[in-house]
Structure 1
């Protein structure tokens, strides 16, 4: 059989200035020197910290030094629900929170609070390589009340916080009482008010992290409430330019699955990306400019008056789950048919269970896996009869609307047939990856890759000669593919991956698989993985001096654009900027390889086409072709023009 795969009323406003000044300048004994490195860590005196009566478990023990209680910076952020960061190059600490921005420099007894300067009595401390900060100052800056009980060595913090924050590292805050939403671009950027939900929060809130796609950010907020906790209000928000520009609310009973928020469609000029929101009845599609381009009426298309979870959207299909039946359903927009997938993919007791069980909710346990092309859709299925065994199997459904197209496809060749014709001339490309690590591809048209391609062909020939078919356990990979795609010029593709100390053909989902037990082939397979490289000299570099860039980011064309851009560190740019990168050089690459020299300019081209001044300091050089593939980054320091 051919083993192939087709690719394709706020309670936490800032304290009044007088209150903050009082909090900062209350006389307490302090260190003689500000912000000094401590070679000996102060004694950890068994100090406890409580927040609203609940004990807080710090990652590192707090300590008292000259009457000041210190806590690690990251623990302070988690404790207070703020976003904190340490900029090692600038030696600054920032804390961001709705309507609050605090900034301190290491070694200084001054702090900036919302742009106003205040004096400190307690400095930052560095102990055993970990940054500790004064707990009282940061706490009171957020409106918290701090009391110290010396008899039991306990810090009691009281904070009437209406803000909900998903995780300690999250940059999203939702006000439970007012439904106002704030977001920060990153740890060092302020929390910006982006809008508010159109309704009130009723229960426990969870967030699904925002998807950033083009200029669109999608954030999903789930309000889980009710006596039996069976109600889900799901808010989908489209955010552009730091403002909510569209929001949808869907209501589900008993069962909630995250709705898809994104899909892409292939075009010869590149993939076209779309953003998706739904209210459970209407699916709304937005383009990269945030404009509505299409809507689908799910009750009308399915003939079912219900609310739906939307698990997948394609160019001509939707995969949805009606809330009442719970049965995963395909809406085929090509032939206007509706298919209950359990009826096509399950049998026996699995189908009976999907059709008849009601507890804890009705329906099947099918989930969408992916679009394999030519009307072929894959799904995961975890049988309720597997007991403790939670592995999923991968099931395939071939849409009847594509039957004629599939019949017209060239018949897939066997591994023996492919191996017999495998040469650099018959290979278009060989792509290799380990999860999200993409290696430099091999290109049939690249003379330098021919020997490596012959090595891959030799491995395929060994598969054909002594490969053995085995049945591997079904598995649902938890990460991206780890392996190799061999793409032939006639359109066929075959995938290969390492299975233990052997090689296997296929997509690593299990089932019938051809295995090659050959030590040399495994060595060759791993030797072909080449990490994209980028070197830059000199570093640091002065504006106006010559620089030399050399490397290979991996490319598919003999000639393609080379774009080199400079981006300053985060503390050097405004969070309002859509893109902080400035293009400083353009040229050409040959199959992703480049070797260029030029004079470091004083200006670069911004995303809006305007020339902007490069700000000296630490930052990042990025190298790309401007459209697809790897992007290599190198940290550099840019110095002023020497005189």
Structure 2
């Protein structure tokens, strides 16, 4: 049964849920968010027979300054530039700076830092907050992390280091991914992380990484990347870390600059993480064990990479990349339905069929799943030519 009704365009609204004190904003970046990358201008390397680290000049958002014989540098800016992660620990009222081989905590107004091993590092001057920005003596980076800094004046700093990692966090759990080799490290803020495993990444270019907590022992790490010229290779990875180890990973690659209508894969259903490996869908327990597997090539007969937009007890909603049309799969019978052929008019179907699916602005069927009530599934469709929002429903009963 199909029910159709027109609805008006929606007006998007953004609301700010909460605000933090200026000090906290300056001290710690938002959980799960990456700090803006500074510009890097490599300086000329010395000409010697030995391999010398390349000196890089960092142009940061905030300037340094000197006071009482100490050189002060912006903590948050430099941490993100040196593969260090910065978090505020409200329980201890301290800042935690965590790297791959060292982690320290420090407090505003104190001239020292404490390592994860309990050692004290004297900085020669106290940590300060000026105009909402946290500053530390430059000795923090040389003494704690072996990274001597040179203040070049203003907001320019030089250091013999080139960033090698993508970083993200989920709560207090921190992650680092080596961009070249795919080695993943994880651990709690304020402690030295451990190697979790290797994600089979390649050609990371326009890449982003995020993490999500599943339970006290398990996290999902997601990477999205566009590479090649003109960045027509789009790849998504989803990796599962449990007990500090990488226990499962999946990858889907889309070859085409057109990504219109390709939503991110649904994350989980009934406690199982949804992992899409090209044409294979796995429902995976948080510890990495596979609960259920679906072969989308066999079920749909379409030889393409897929995205999975919904999983429910009795159906899957999947979208092949090239054609971009939403397909309903009955999980019990294996039957499939191309929904646009059931919902939109014959004229609109003909319009879509005539549109070359190799064009960068090929829209796909523009159907979006919005939920269910009993056996009635709801979809919103945006018309191809007029941009109208139209609501459709589809009854599962004939398929089940």
TM-score of the aligned structures, taking structure 2 as reference length: 0.73
Distance verdict in 2 for CA 1:85–1:123, change over 3 Å: same
- Asked if 1:397 corresponds to 2:394, the answer is yes
- Residue 101 of structure 1, CA deviation: 0.7
The equivalent of 2:22 in structure 1 is none
Match of 2:264 among 243, 249, 258: 258
Residue pair 1:335, 1:401 contacting (<8 A) in 2 also:
no
Q: Which moved more, 1:49-58 or 1:297-306?
A: 49-58
Q: Give the SS at the match of 1:103.
A: strand
RMSD: 3.2
- Asked if 1:183 corresponds to 2:186, the answer is yes
Query: 2:96 & 2:228 partners in 1: Cα distance?
Result: 39
Q: Deviations over 1:256-285 (max 9, x none)?
A: 531122012xxxxxxxx2221121211111
Residue pair 1:326, 1:361 contacting (<8 A) in 2 also:
no
Query: 1:383 & 1:143 partners in 2: Cα distance?
Result: 59
TM-score of the aligned structures, taking structure 1 as reference length: 0.47
The equivalent of 2:65 in structure 1 is 63
> Larger helix proportion, structure 1 or 2?
1
Query: 1:105 & 1:191 partners in 2: Cα distance?
Result: 22
Residue pair 2:86, 2:95 contacting (<8 A) in 1 also:
yes
Match of 2:282 among 281, 284, 296: 284
Q: Which has the larger radius of gyration?
A: 1
The equivalent of 1:355 in structure 2 is 353
The equivalent of 1:453 in structure 2 is none
The equivalent of 1:379 in structure 2 is 379
Q: What pairs with 1:126-275 in structure 2 (closer than 5 Å)?
A: 126-127=129-130, 131-138=134-141, 141-142=144-145, 144-149=147-152, 154-165=156-167, 171-185=174-188, 187-213=189-215, 215-254=217-256, 255=259, 256-264=262-270, 273-275=271-273
Query: 1:318 & 1:216 partners in 2: Cα distance?
Result: 25
Q: Give the SS at the match of 2:214.
A: strand
Residue pair 2:58, 2:157 contacting (<8 A) in 1 also:
no
Residue pair 1:80, 1:139 contacting (<8 A) in 2 also:
no
Unaligned runs of 5+ in 1: 1-48, 265-272, 404-643
- Residue 320 of structure 1, CA deviation: 0.7
The equivalent of 1:367 in structure 2 is 368
The equivalent of 1:83 in structure 2 is 85
Distance verdict in 2 for CA 1:368–1:214, change over 3 Å: farther
Residue pair 2:279, 2:297 contacting (<8 A) in 1 also:
yes
Q: Give the SS at the match of 1:401.
A: coil
Distance verdict in 2 for CA 1:135–1:333, change over 3 Å: same
Q: What pairs with 1:603-642 in structure 2 (closer than 5 Å)?
A: none
Distance verdict in 2 for CA 1:318–1:65, change over 3 Å: same
- Residue 55 of structure 1, CA deviation: 2.5
Distance verdict in 2 for CA 1:93–1:211, change over 3 Å: closer
Distance verdict in 2 for CA 1:105–1:214, change over 3 Å: closer
Q: Deviations over 1:538-571 (max 9, x none)?
A: xxxxxxxxxxxxxxxxxxxxxxxxxxxxxxxxxx
The equivalent of 1:327 in structure 2 is 325
Q: Which runs of 4+ in 1 moved over 6 A?
A: 167-170
Q: Which moved more, 1:204-213 or 1:295-304?
A: 204-213
